[in-house]
Amino acid sequence: MSATTRDFYAGSGDKPADAVYTAMGGDWAEIAQEQAERSDETMVINMGPQHPSTHGVLRLELECDGETVVKIRPAIGFLHTGIEKTMEYRSWVQGGTFVTRMDYVAPLFNEAAYCLSVERLLGVEDQIPERANELRVLVMELCRIASHLVAIGTGGMEIGALTVMTIGFREREMILDFFEALTGLRMNHNYIRPGGVANDLPENGLAQLRDLITWLDDHLPEYAAFCNENPIFKGRMMGIGHQDLAACMALGVTGPVLRSTGYAWDLRKQQAYCGYETYDFDVCAWPVPAEGEPEQWPSSDGYARFRVRLAEMWESLKIVKQCADRLEASVGQPVMVADKKIAWPAQLAVGPDGQGNSHEHIKEIMGTSMEALIHHFKLVTEGFKVPAGQAYVPIESPKGELGAHVVSDGGTRPFRVHMRDPGFNHLQSIPIQCEGGMISDVVVAVGSLDPVMGGVDR
């Protein structure tokens, strides 16, 4: 531990601190003792940007009186990648390669929001094949389960429940195995494309999907058994990170955090897309008492958000089962719009060396169809033109409302793309949840928001 009178962290307009402490390991007691000897009223602590409990490269500036948080300020931008600006220099189809890298825990939702907005500008929303929508819903709901498993697993690990993380990543690996078989990649898939999806299920895709459903049916109950009635888990989560409905509405908070207040708002129901209105599932708002539990649990806290995500995984699995039945009945149907001036790539296949154009498609466009070859060449090199205008289509991601605001000037590249990532809005609610609480509760509050900094910073 070392102390200095030079404040490296003060901005140009900030008043320098009296003393700056640099912790170099397990020396917190020395810092606390020296601070007590100095009789400082408060101490400012930097949590992050590399702290393991900040869910990415997030910096939290805490002003503390002893162990009590007096003020807290989230500082973002450490993971800014310039994705939105970069997309202005790439074609509309290439944009999917960038947006999938924002919220890297739930990449397929980024792709879906972007493609739905582009399709609205193209005016082809009613031309998307039914099987393409079934595949979109399938991968989104599996991705929702995978994302919630990360939120629950890492949130549990941070309060000492290590087993919750190990089993959470076990189930997530099974889902990623299926994604790899379908898209060729375990993450950053670029699978959902304007007009449909990149490729259909592989030959054994339905069988692998059925096996995955059976696995999840057998193993998802373990999370409730580990945590729901665990007194230590409940003691660390209940009453922590409280944020009521009024605060959620004022700050634009959505998703499980909003539903933990008891407000059943879910865009899959309220503003249905991709045919969600045809699926049978429930919106999980808290309290959701199970058999033998009290009728009213405390709401709007970390424990309520955990239980909402736990219940949502079961609803997602219910939708996945319906998708499997529909996909079995629609084998052979198209997965991309019929308009060859939009449908790119025309046909992909997943082989042992990764994903690429199928041999049959290459043979056709190279040998038998000059028009197809010309269209393919122009789509790959220039891309298609999108009519001038703007569109915003929001969807229900695992974190909340995720939307893409796309603007076209009539060319082959976006004039502007802006993504509304729910984590960006949620982080501004950290002061409401943490000020007046303990330092140790900051970890629980941040984890219950489930931010992914790739989506927040973009």
The three-state (H, E, C) secondary structure of the chain, written as one string: CEEECCCCCCCCCCCCCCCEEECCCCCHHHHHHHHHHHCCCCEEEEECCCCCCCCCCCEEEEEEECCEEEEEEEECCCCCCCHHHHHHHCCCCCHHHHHCCCCCCCHHHHHHHHHHHHHHHHCCHHHCCHHHHHHHHHHHHHHHHHHHHHHHHHHHHCCCCHHHHHHHHHHHHHHHHHHHHHHCCCCCCCCEECCEECCCCCCCHHHHHHHHHHHHHHHCHHHHHHHCCCHHHHHHHCCCCCCCHHHHHHHCCCHHHHHCCCCCCCHHHHCCCCCHHHCCCCCCCCCCCCCCCCCCCCCCCHHHHHHHHHHHHHHHHHHHHHHHHHHHHCCCCCCECCCCCCCCCCCEEEECCEEEECHHHHHHHHHCCHHHHHHHHHHHHCCCCCCCEEEEEEEECCCCEEEEEEEECCCCCCCEEEEECHHHHHHCCHHHHHCCCEHHHHHHHHHHHCCCHHHHHC
Report the distance separating Cα 444 and Cα 163, nearest Å: 17
pLDDT at residue number 157: 78
pLDDT at residue number 2: 46
pLDDT at residue number 289: 52
Residue type, 10: A
Residue 116: pLDDT band with limits 50, 70, 90: very high
Locus of tokens 């599996």? 142
Q: From 347, 318, 425, 416, select the one nearest 121 (Cα to Cα).
A: 416
User: For residue range 146-170, what is the model confidence (pLDDT) as tens digits?
Assistant: 999 988 888 777 777 778 788 888 8
Q: Cβ–Cβ contacts within 10 Å for residue 296, how many?
A: 8
pLDDT at residue number 5: 53
Q: Give the percent of the chain with pLDDT over 70.
A: 82
Q: Which residue has the higher pLDDT, 51 or 317?
A: 317
Residue 402: pLDDT band with limits 50, 70, 90: very high
Q: What is the mean pLDDT of residues 246-273?
A: 89
* Torsion over CA: 305, 310, 314, 319 (sign): positive
Highest mean pLDDT among 68-77, 218-227, 275-284: 275-284
Report the distance separating Cα 302 and Cα 230, nearest Å: 14
Q: Which residue has the higher pLDDT, 394 or 8?
A: 394
Among the listed ranges 41-50, 108-117, 264-273, 285-294, which one has the minimum average pLDDT value? 285-294
Among the listed ranges 98-112, 155-169, 198-212, which one has the minimum average pLDDT value? 155-169
Report the distance separating Cα 65 and Cα 386, nearest Å: 56
Which residues does 117 contact at the CB level (< 8 Å), separation at least 6?
391, 392, 393, 403, 404, 405, 406
User: For residue range 329-356, what is the model confidence (pLDDT) as tens digits?
Assistant: 888 888 888 877 777 665 655 555 555 6
pLDDT at residue number 452: 86
Report the distance separating Cα 91 and Cα 95, nearest Å: 6
Residue 1 has pLDDT above 50, yes or no: no
Among the listed ranges 11-15, 204-208, 297-301, which one has the minimum average pLDDT value? 11-15
Report the distance separating Cα 436 and Cα 245, nearest Å: 19
Q: What backbone torsions phi and psi does residue 60 show, to the nearest 5 degrees?
A: -115, 125
User: For residue range 357-390, what is the model confidence (pLDDT) as tens digits?
Assistant: 666 666 666 667 677 677 777 777 888 888 999 9
Residue spans of the domains in the chain: they are 83-337+385-457, 348-381
pLDDT at residue number 68: 83
Residue 114: pLDDT band with limits 50, 70, 90: very high
Task: Copy the structure tokens of residue 311.
Answer: 């219940």
pLDDT at residue number 345: 60
pLDDT at residue number 121: 93
Rounded to a whole number of angstroms, the distance between the first and last alpha carbons of the chain is 35
Which residues does 332 contact at the CB level (< 8 Å), separation at least 6?
none
Locus of tokens 């060859």? 340
Residue 321: pLDDT band with limits 50, 70, 90: very high
Q: Give the percent of the chain with pLDDT over 90.
A: 22
Q: What is the dihedral of CA 182, 183, 186, 188, to 10 degrees?
A: -150
Q: What is the mean pLDDT of residues 9-30?
A: 64
Pairing status of strand 389-396 against strand 401-408: antiparallel
Residue 337 sits at the vertex; the CA angle it makes with 332 and 338, to the nearest 5 degrees, is 85
Average pLDDT, the chain: 82
Q: Which residue has the higher pLDDT, 34 or 457?
A: 457
What is the model's pTM? 0.84
Residue 299 sits at the vertex; the CA angle it makes with 298 and 301, to the nearest 5 degrees, is 105
Q: 83-337+385-457 falls under which CATH superfamily?
A: Cytochrome-c3 Hydrogenase, chain B (1.10.645.10)
Residue 24: pLDDT band with limits 50, 70, 90: low
pLDDT at residue number 286: 81
pLDDT at residue number 25: 56
